Every structure is written in structure tokens, then in C-alpha cells.
Structure 1
Amino acid sequence: MRYPRQTHFAKKALISLPVNPPPPPKAKQPYEAFLVLDVEATCQQGADFNFPNEIIEFPVCLMQWKDRSDDHKASQLEVVAEFRSFVKPTWQPVLSQFCTDLTGITQEQVDAAPSFPAVLAAFEEFMIEHELIDEVTGERLVRFCWCSDGPFDVRDFVVKQCFISKIPMPGWIQGDVLDVRTSVMDWLHSREPPKYSPATRGWDGPRRRSLNIPAQLKVLGLPSFEGRQHSGIDDSRNIAKIVSELARRGISLHPNTAIHPNRRWQWMGKHGQILDGYWTVNNVEPWKRL
């Protein structure tokens, strides 16, 4: 088969490349640890993010650096511990079939689970054990950053759940969050050159896209999703792989999503009350707006 002249030279150039290209330069990493969170929550088919979801699985992968130097440069990030607990919902204690089919979480599992405040207390002990926060004051002992796939887990689900449970949002979960999906999209966007568009007679930048976890793994050249999608712990483990790969590629990991602990939705009344005027409470049409 004949090749055009420029293609022939390109193939020769490829042959001369080193077998093992040098690794990307290490980036300066301001955070010492990362907490990858992917909660699962009650849901109804047809509902959107305005629904008063209750958390039913709270899983976290704790990640720390293996090679962070004195000048804060690093590239090797690994999972060093995991926390996982199912959570018992209180407003609508009976799961919908849609929710069980989506998450794989059963009614028996949530019935036997602790309440959300008890889960937070157990997780606080986990953080103390791993020297992330002070046992007495609860103050941070190291700089750590929460990570999630999209902004929803902390921004929406945790804020809603703290309201429903009538508890303040703990200080150690407040602050901005690293939205991993956005970081992957930013990295992909930076690699795609603009293309000429005959329609606009100009150069258009690459189209922004939203990538789910399997798609993020694919564009980063990582193995396929391991486990069950929409299982909180399996999602968290796969997100952790993505975070580790971003670090390996020389990307500085830092928050990119603002969290507002006092955010409110229309269905929120006073003192944790869910207003019947916006949502029914008999699990028949919990997504119907009045």
C-alpha cells in the first residue's frame, strides 16, 4: 500500500520516538488529602433535582499522596481508607421501586441502617482516626478537599439532608468542592483544537460536553467501570481512579464548585418541615408540584 509522502515521514518519525516517553511534570498540589464522596438518595421516576431527596448511602474514599515533596509537588495519589454506611430515611422511609432498581439498595438495608446524624457521627470518628480533624475542636489538621462527580452530592444532597435531619452542616464538610467531571471536561477541552465552521465562517472551539463516570474513564484511557453503576461505593472507587489519573497527568487538583450550606428549596418550611403544598407525603405523587 502506498502512503502519501507526508504520512511516510510521519511513520518514520513515530518509529524514532522513545519507547517509554517521560512522565508529565509534577504539578503543585495545595491539598494534602481528598475525600471522594458519591451518595445515593431516595428518588422517584420523573422527579428532578428539586425533589427532597434523603441520603440512603454515604460512602467515602480517602485519598492521600505517595510522593508529595516539600515544595508541594506530587503526582501519585492513592486510596488509603474507605468509609461506607447505609442511611435510614425518615421523611419517606419506604423506598420506591425505581430507587431500588437504580441503586441496588434494598428496603431491608435502609431499615437496619442508622439515621443520618448517627452516620455523620461515625464518619467524624473515621476522620479523627485518620488525623484529618481534631478530636476536641473538630478543626482541620490537614488541608483536605471533597470530590464528587458533578456538584450535586454536597451542594444538593448533603445540604437537603441536613435540613431534613434538623442539624447544622458540619464545618468539616463545608467549603468548596472539586467537581471531578468538570476537571475532566476542562482537560479534554484543552486538548481539542478549534475547528473551522463553514456555517459561521469562523473557528469554533470544541463543544463542551457532560461525561458520566464510564465516559470519563474512557477518555482518560483507564479500564472500564468496575462494579455496579449507581452503587455509591462503586461510583466513589471509580471516581477515585479518575482523580488519581488527573494527578498523574500533571493536573493541579483544587476546588471548582461553590457550596452554600444555607441554600433553600421551595419545599422547605421551618425547622426541617417539608411543606405539603409542594410535595405529597404519602409516596403516591412525591414529585408533583402544586
Structure 2
Amino acid sequence: MVPETFKSTQPFDAFLVLDVEATCQQGSSFDYPNEIIELPVTLVRWTDKIDGKASQLEVVDEFHSFVKPTWRPNLSEFCTQLTGITQDIVDAAPDFPVALASLRQFLVKHELIDSETEEPLTRFCWCTDGPHDIRDFFLKQCFISKVEMPQWIKTDVMDVRSTVVHWLASQAGKKPITPATKKLQAHFGVKRPLNITLQLEALGLPPFEGRQHCGMHDARNVARIVTELARKGIRLQPNTPVHPHRRWVWMGHSGQILDLYR
């Protein structure tokens, strides 16, 4: 049992860990018109919240859907090798508006949003590895699919990677909890991406479980990281703004994609 001293005031009651996979070309940057091809969510809630304080999270349920791309329906060989998602999988999958509606129903089922107004029924926060999943990929996909970005996904977002980096910084000068933490502290400030595997190491958790760049497996492992951050008494809160009116150079009028990537 975690000591009481590890508990901290936690403003949110539920966390939705999201890690999408998207179409890509080898060498393409984050400016590319990526289309979401896997949409997984792991829902975690507190088991010990009393008077606003908590430290124990557990997985309640999972949502998962593959998604059919429409702008560039054929996956690149690079994309399949990276994600493990094959052409036959996306060909049989629903398109994004249908997958989005299913995700909405998942939120309704767990009483996170009202079924009619979509107003929040409890305080929940999205959790992603890095800022890109909602801020970039979700926004791009809504534009490509010509659907409005739902209010329930453009509100509170926590970049878990950033939270881990700040925790590592706070440990400077303290006795490292694990050899991995000591190693990462030595590299802190150096140009080194803190991927999911390194975050698990830094927190003293067992290695990555599953296949990396499988969206569902990534989401489950990020949920493990979020759970451990909570156990360490770290306040889980939003740290990533979403700008729903952001535009990229390939965005034309009325959902048109300017073909700059032949």
C-alpha cells in the first residue's frame, strides 16, 4: 500500500490515454497530412480518492478501432513496417467519422459526457506521449474528414512525456531512484528523445510490454507511466494547449487537401 505522504491533490477524476497511429511516408515531417489509421484509448480512474487526494489508478476499460484512410487510402511500406498495420486491416475498417462516433459512445457509456449535449459529466483529462496526437493528428484528421473537432477532445490534454521530463529535472541533486534514472539525469538537457521505453526505465518500471508503434500497446504502456506518476505523488494536470484553428500549408478551402506530397 502506498504511504499517505505520496498522495497529492488530484483535480481530475479520470484519464483517457490516447496514442494514435497515422499514415506516413519515410522522411516526412510533422507537416505531412497524416490520416489516423488506429484509434486506441485506455481509460483509468482512481481507486482511492478521498477529499480530492489520491495516488492509485487502475485501468477501467479500453476503446479500439482501426480507421480507413481516404485521402491516401494505400499505406506506404514504411508505414506498415513501422506500425504493423496492413492494407487489408484498414480496408476493412470504418472511416474516421464512424470511428469518432464510436469513441463518443465510449465516453457516454462511462458517463464522461452527456449523451445529448456532450457536456462533461466528470473531470477527465486526455493523456498522450508527446503533444502531437490531439494537437496535430486529431486536428488534421478532422479537417481531412470535414468534421468539426469535438469539444470533448480539445480541452484538457496532458503531455505525459513532458511530465516525466519535469519529474526527472526535479530529481536533480537527489539520490536517483534507479540506475536508469541516474543515466537519464546525466543525459537531461542533451538532445535525446525520451520515448516510452526510456520513460519506463526512468520510472523504474518493467520494460515495454507488446509491440512498439502498435497504438493499443503504446496506450497501455503510457497508462502504466501515468499510473506510476500518480503513485509518486505527482499532480496530473493539463500541460498542452490545443489550437483547433491551426492550419498547415496543405490545407485548402472546405477540407480540400492541396497535393504537395506527390
Same fold (TM over 0.5): yes
**Residue identity matched to 1:279:** Y
Q: Which deviations, in whole Å up to 9, do the C-alpha atoms of 1:149-207 show, x marking residues without a partner?
A: 0000000000000000001000110113100000001001110139xxxxxxxxxx952
1:279 aligns with 2:261: yes
Counterpart selection for 2:22 from 29, 36, 41? 41
* 2:24/2:32 contact within 8 Å kept: yes
**Residue identity matched to 1:242:** I
Shift of 1:78: 1.0
The aligned counterpart of 1:207 is 189
The aligned counterpart of 1:178 is 158
> Any stretches of 5+ residues in structure 2 without a counterpart?
175-186
Identity %: 63
**Residue identity matched to 1:245:** E
Task: For residue 16 of structure 2, give the secondary structure of its aligned residue in structure 1.
Answer: strand
CA distance in 1, matches of 2:32, 2:143: 13
CA distance in 2, matches of 1:188, 1:92: 40
Counterpart selection for 2:73 from 70, 93, 105? 93
Counterpart selection for 1:249 from 205, 211, 232? 232
Q: Which runs of structure 2 are paired with 1:15-26 in the superposition (5 Å)? A: 22=3, 24-26=5-7
Q: TM-score, normalised by structure 2?
A: 0.92
The aligned counterpart of 1:57 is 38
Higher fraction of helix: 2
Task: For residue 34 of structure 1, give the secondary structure of its aligned residue in structure 2.
Answer: strand
Q: TM-score, normalised by structure 1?
A: 0.83
CA distance in 1, matches of 2:232, 2:170: 13
* 1:24/1:248 contact within 8 Å kept: no
Q: 1:23 to 1:113 in 2, by over 3 A?
A: same
Q: Which deviations, in whole Å up to 9, do the C-alpha atoms of 1:199-241 show, x marking residues without a partner?
A: xxxxxx9526531000000010000000000000000000000
Shift of 1:25: 2.5
CA distance in 1, matches of 2:106, 2:242: 23
RMSD: 1.8
Q: 1:150 to 1:84 in 2, by over 3 A?
A: same
1:162 aligns with 2:142: yes
Counterpart selection for 2:11 from 17, 30, 38? 30
CA distance in 2, matches of 1:21, 1:90: 48
Moved over 2 A (4+): 20-25, 205-210
1:231 aligns with 2:231: no
CA distance in 2, matches of 1:39, 1:130: 21
**Residue identity matched to 2:6:** P
The aligned counterpart of 2:62 is 82
Once the two structures are overlaid, the 10-residue window that deviates more, 228-237 or 254-263, is 254-263
